[in-house]
A and B are shown apart, each in its own frame.
Chain A
Amino acid sequence: MKKIGLRKLSAVAAVALSASVLSVAPAQANTTIKIITPNYTDAMPAYYADLNARFMAANPTIKVEHTNLSWDDILVKGRTLVATDSTPDILNLNTFSDYAAAGLLYKATDIFDAKTMADFVPAFIDNSKYNGVAYAVPDLASARMFFYNKQLLYTSGVTKVPTTWAEVTAAAKKIKKKYPRVYPIGLPLGSEEAQAEFAIWTGGNNGRYFDDKAKKWVINSKENLETMNYLTSLVKAGLTQPSPASTNRTDAFKLFSQGRIAMINASVFFPSTLKDYKSKVDYGVAPFPHSPKGKPITLGVQDYFMAFKKPGNEAAVKAWLNFLFQPTNYAGFLRAAGGFIPATKSASSAVDSSLLPFIEQLPNAIFYPGDLAAWPKVSGSIQTQIGTGVIKDPKGVLDKIQKVAVEAGVK
């Protein structure tokens, strides 16, 4: 999101230089660690270049080989690293559980001391557990809220920001009547983030993907089917953008930024995205609308840092991860990542005021069942298929994904 030109280049050059200097350094007990991270924004490579240069200066026996990848690339690469024997030492990704299940990861407590562990936001650490043991740590998190275009809403005669499904429908109808070329509701159920879009709508109807108490998948539950039917009714009435099943989040965000979508579910970083799009839309943020039987919820999503067990790398991965989570370095990480919720309590006290409404929502947050080894696979099926529920057969699609989930297991 934030573009960095020359600074990035010179920082990369600095790392290259220090790396080459290190490689000819006299023989010591040298360790090389490979780190792979995604670019939350274009500012990430420069941030890591600077961080690694300082880290290697402070730890002359450790050499860092850092790879920055786009999200698209890292999601693909994450699947082939282990199979091709090119497992990194440290990985930053949106899932961790299937690596933990395969016994590839260090426990979080092997990497961090009790004081640092206690500083992570407890809910985020809970989501980093596999079988009750933390095998990863949160790097940052997001929460979602209801974004609306003030001008479109108020000039259409909507006097109150919708808080329930019925109010959403009513407001959408008013907007459509006044502005026939505006899509009142953005419903991006394309594969990019369909799992999130459906989760937040159904969450407000008490629907979930996984029942934590009963330890079973509930994707084709009554609540989820009700949600699917409600969303289908919006689509049929022409209150959403066309082709919801193949509209990705990015596409819908662009339409909102152009004033073509009036109401949408969006994440905590959306304001900075709108700034990047040079959007002139005057928007408001509100808790996400819910059904009569539900209550307002938000969807919490977090990503992870994880360290892979390899002979002789423990001290080095420990040093690097602790270096990253030093308050000033971690603050830089959050700045470079652009507008996310911090994963540590200490960093949470110093956030930008625009984040506060989102942090206030966190007690109502529902999360993905990211602690299950089956989750990456189930999430993938939800992403590619759940959107077709609103254009084809709502029940059939939910049943199909439920079957995939049941086969993937509940561990």
Chain B
Amino acid sequence: MTATGIAEKKVKNRRPANSTLSALPWIGPSLLLILLVVVWPAIELIRISLTKITSAGVLEGFFGLGNYRLLFENPDLKTIAVRTLIWVFAVVSITVALSLPLAQLINQNFPGRKFVRWAMIVPWAASVVMTSIIWKWILELTSGEFNLTLQQLGLQDGQPVDWLRDPRYSFFVLVWVAVFVSIPFTTFVILAGLQSIPNDIVEASQVDGAGPWQIYRRIKFPLLRNALLIATIINLINVFNSFPIIWALTRGGPGYDTDTMITFAYKMAFVEYNMGPSTALGVINFAFIMLIVLIYLRVTKATRDQA
């Protein structure tokens, strides 16, 4: 085939109708999968949120926005929504702040680096429920290792602190455990970013007399922008959706004091048997996630176009 022939073919293939149709056999299966496991449940969720549903789970017909009205009448919703935002912001920002130096560290060459990298992956590879339960044991009131150690060191006199049940502490404990399970992924995304920085730029700046801090601040950090963006946005979604940590450690209690919108939706449906408003909250949570995904797509598109 001549060069012109190839060019002509390319032009032909660019015609939308033709290309969409001819792509179908390739993207068809995944499209079907997406329709089945993403689009259909989403539609079902919205449909149920517009339906009147009893505590026995019996559907009693169209209810309009009734479930949403009931949800917004709930006096606790506002506090829980604010807490959810604080939760997401705190966990993501602390995670990123700790992961940046950690990635820097495991990017260095030192004996035992392989082992350190491997050890860092473990909390990520372990099931979140498992990690949460281990933390529950560590922080348990009378038999937990943490309180026992504090007592042996003489740092805690009198009654032990109830880390998991006392609302003054439990939210911070939850944030810490969430940071703990988020760090490995974040660190490795940033590490990948660090490794993609061409060595010659770094060397050139060294030749120009830049110190280590200057190199990090002016060369490496700006080049990490993409990795950081991806890590932040994926963490936003993960942390917002985070259910097992909270449920395993505090069940959102006492009352709703450590609930987020995710655990609250579950608690309403399956502890308080208040199914209707819970489905409405499910839709709102879903919409929030979609919003973050849209921002993610926008941002990655913008950086791609830039490149």
Please measure, in the bound complex, the distance between the C-alpha atom of A82 and the C-alpha atom of B54, giving whole angstroms.
Answer: 10
A27 within 8 A of B: no
| Chain B residues closer than 8 Å to A76, beta-carbon distance | 270
Contacts of B257 in A (CB 8 A): 388
Q: Mark A372-411, 1 if CB is under 8 A from B, else 0.
A: 0110110011011101100110000000100000000000
A292 at the interface (CB under 8 A from B): no
Instruction: Point out the residues of chain A lying under 8 angstroms from B48, CB to CB.
Output: 83
Closest to B168 in A: A243
Please give, as numbers and ranges, the residues of chain B lying within 8 Å of A80 by CB-CB distance.
57
Evaluate contact between A82 and B56: CB separation under 8 angstroms.
Answer: yes
Q: A377-B272, A377-B274 are in contact. Are A190 and B56 (CB under 8 A)?
A: no
State whether the Cβ of A311 lies closer than 8 Å to any Cβ in chain B.
no
Please give, as numbers and ranges, the residues of chain A lying within 8 Å of B270 by CB-CB distance.
75-76, 79
- The answer to whether residues A380 and B142 also contact, given A83-B53, A242-B162, A246-B165 and a CB cut-off of 8 A, is no
Q: In the complex, what's the smallest C-beta–C-beta distance from B175 to chain A, in angstroms?
A: 17
| A-contact bits for B252-270, CB 8 A (1 contact / 0 none) | 0111110000000001011
Complex CA gap A380/B48 in Å reads 21
Query: Complex Cα distance A392/B255, Å?
Result: 10
**Proximity string of chain B (17-57) to chain A, C-beta cutoff 8 Å, 1 when within and 0 when not:** 00000000000000000000000000000001000011111
Contact B56 A384 (CB under 8 A): no
Partner of B166 from the list A190, A242, A376 (CB cut-off 8 Å) is A242
Could you tell me if A377 and B273 are in contact, using CB atoms closer than 8 angstroms? yes
Q: Cβ of A384 and Cβ of B272 under 8 Å apart?
A: yes
Residue B187 at the A interface, CB < 8 A?
A: no
Q: In whole angstroms, what is the CA distance A243 to B161 when docked?
A: 10
Q: For chain B, what secondary structure do more than half of its interface residues adopt (helix, strand, loop), or is it mixed?
A: loop
A83-115 interface code vs B (CB 8 A; 1 in, 0 out): 110000000000000110110100000000000
CB distance from B251 to the nearest CB of A (A): 6
With CB as the reference atom, state the residue of chain A lying closest to B158.
A180
Q: Kindly identify which residue among B55, B158, B159, B254 contacts A79, using a CB–CB cutoff of 8 Å.
A: B55
Please pick, from B57, B158, B272, B275, the residue contacting A81 in the complex, using a CB distance under 8 A. B57
Task: Check B75 for interface membership: any CB of A closer than 8 A.
Answer: yes
Instruction: From known contacts A180-B158, A388-B255, infer whether A242 and B165 are also in contact, taking CB-CB under 8 Å.
Output: yes
Question: At the interface, yes or no: B141 with Cβ under 8 Å from chain A?
Answer: yes
A-side contacts of B167, CB under 8 Å: 243, 246, 391
Residue in B142, B164, B166, B251 whose CB lies within 8 Å of A258: B142
Question: Is the C-beta of B58 less than 8 angstroms from some C-beta in chain A?
Answer: yes
Interface centre among A98, A246, A247, A377 (most CB of B within 10 A): A246
B59 touches A83 (CB 8 A): yes
Give every chain A residue within 8 A of B159 (Cβ-Cβ). 180-181, 242
A43 within 8 A of B: no
- Is A63 in contact with chain B by the CB < 8 A criterion? no
Interface of chain B residues 121 through 157 with chain A (CB within 8 A): 141-143
User: Given A245-B253, A380-B272, A388-B255, is A400 in contact with B75 using a C-beta cutoff of 8 Å?
Assistant: yes
* CA–CA, A374 and B54, complex, Å: 10
Do residues A79 and B255 form an inter-chain contact, with CB atoms below 8 A?
A: no
For A104, the chain B residues whose CB sits under 8 A away are 56, 58
**Is A260 located at the chain interface by the 8 A CB criterion?**
yes
Rounded to whole angstroms, the CA-CA distance of A123 and B133 in the bound complex is 41
Q: How far is the CA of A101 from the CA of B271 in the complex (A)?
A: 20
| B271 in complex: contacting residue of A98, A258, A380, CB < 8 Å | A380
In the bound complex, how far is the Cα of B270 from the Cα of A191, in angstroms?
12
A79-B57, A190-B253 known; A383 vs B142 contact (CB < 8 Å): no
B250 contacts partner chain A, Cβ-Cβ < 8 Å: yes
* Distance of B291 from chain A, by nearest CB (Å): 28
- 1/0 contact trace for B218-243 toward A, CB 8 Å? 00000000000000000000000000
- Residues from chain A with a CB closer than 8 A to the CB of B274 are 377, 380-381
**Is B142 a contact of A255 with CB atoms below 8 Å?**
yes
B58 cross-chain contacts in A, Cβ below 8 A? 82-83, 102, 104
A241 to B271, CA, bound (A): 24
- Least CB distance, B232 to chain A, in whole angstroms: 32
Cα distance A191–B159 in the bound complex, in angstroms: 24
CB distance from B182 to the nearest CB of A (A): 25
Closest 8 CB pairs of A and B: A245-B254, A243-B165, A380-B272, A83-B57, A388-B255, A246-B165, A82-B57, A98-B56
Binding site for A on B (CB under 8 A): 48, 53-59, 75, 141-143, 158-159, 162, 164-167, 170, 250-251, 253-257, 267, 269-275
Known: A83-B53, A104-B58, A246-B165. 10 other contacts (CB 8 A): A79-B269, A98-B54, A101-B54, A180-B159, A242-B141, A246-B164, A246-B251, A246-B254, A255-B141, A258-B142
Question: What are 19 of the A-B contact pairs (CB < 8 Å)?
Answer: A79-B55, A81-B57, A83-B57, A83-B59, A102-B58, A104-B58, A180-B159, A190-B253, A241-B141, A242-B162, A243-B254, A245-B254, A246-B253, A246-B254, A255-B141, A376-B56, A377-B55, A388-B254, A388-B257
